[in-house]
Amino acid sequence: MEINQKKLQINISKAKEGNQAAFRFLLDSFWTSVFNYQLKRTKNENNAEDITIQTFSKAFDKIHTFNDQYVFKTWLISISKNVHIDLLRKKNASISIETTIEQEEKVYLVVDENPTPEDNIIREQNLAKLLRDIKQLKPKYQEVIQLRYFQELSYKEISEQINEPINNVKVKLLRAKKLLAAIIKRS
């Protein structure tokens, strides 16, 4: 997909000023490139998606540092590459650290109560189309999407409401997002 350079420059400038529509344009324009780059590296759709989300989150946080002398796509790919390397380092570091049973149990008590950058990106999507796409999911997936992204409940609150363990909630959400992404790609 060839992107009009003038339109790209205008949207980068607007994004630097905090314009949400410009962020959406950049996300829509470059999502596939970053995702495919990570898919080739990780050979795993879920990991590629997670890294791509983190890439755009970091890029949008640091958009003011982007130098217009460089190619925006190259800048994004560099961020993506670094996010992937950081995740590999964390994974390797966590493997080498010995943990006690008590420490492992404490991990399950920690719950992310804040919306993630992914939550914010989803909220920015075209709501009417998104709702139509969500209605194509099975009811159990519609429910967790509704609770997490529209009612902004924490994993713990969702777990209590649907009476399932937090890990099940996280897996359902991951699966729901993957199915929703496929529906969005088709439409």
For 50-92, what is each residue's pLDDT tens digit?
Answer: 888 888 888 888 999 999 888 999 999 999 999 999 888 887 7
Pure H helices in the chain: 5-16, 20-42, 45-61, 72-96, 101-109, 117-124, 127-134, 139-145, 155-162, 166-186
Same domain, 78 and 129: no
Q: Which of 27-36, 39-48, 119-128, 149-158 has the least mean pLDDT?
A: 119-128
Same domain, 92 and 127: no
Last residue of a domain, one of 42, 69, 96: 96
Same domain, 118 and 60: no
- Regarding whether 55 and 138 lie in a shared domain, the answer is no
We report the CATH number of the domain holding residue 67 as 1.10.1740.10
Q: Which of 96, 125, 152 is the last residue of a domain?
A: 96
**Per-residue pLDDT, 37:** 95
- Are residue 57 and residue 30 in the same domain, yes or no? yes
pLDDT at 9: 92
- pTM higher than 0.75 for the full model? no
Q: With bands split at pLDDT 50, 70 and 90, how would you rate the model's confidence at 47?
A: confident
Q: Which residue has the higher pLDDT, 145 or 93?
A: 145
Distance CA 16, CA 28 (A): 17
Residue 174: its pLDDT value, please? 77
Q: How many domains does the chain have?
A: 2
Q: Are residues 10 and 82 in the same domain?
A: yes
Min mean pLDDT across 12-26, 62-76, 157-171 is at: 157-171
Boundary (domain end) residue, out of 96, 117, 144: 96
Question: Does residue 96 surpass a pLDDT of 70?
Answer: no
CA distances from 29 to 4, 57, 115 (A): 10, 15, 24
Look at residue 168 and tell me whether its pLDDT is greater than 90: no
Q: What is the residue range of 131's domain?
A: 101-186
Q: In the predicted model, is pLDDT for residue 125 greater than 60?
A: no
pLDDT band for 5, please (50, 70, 90 cuts). Answer: confident
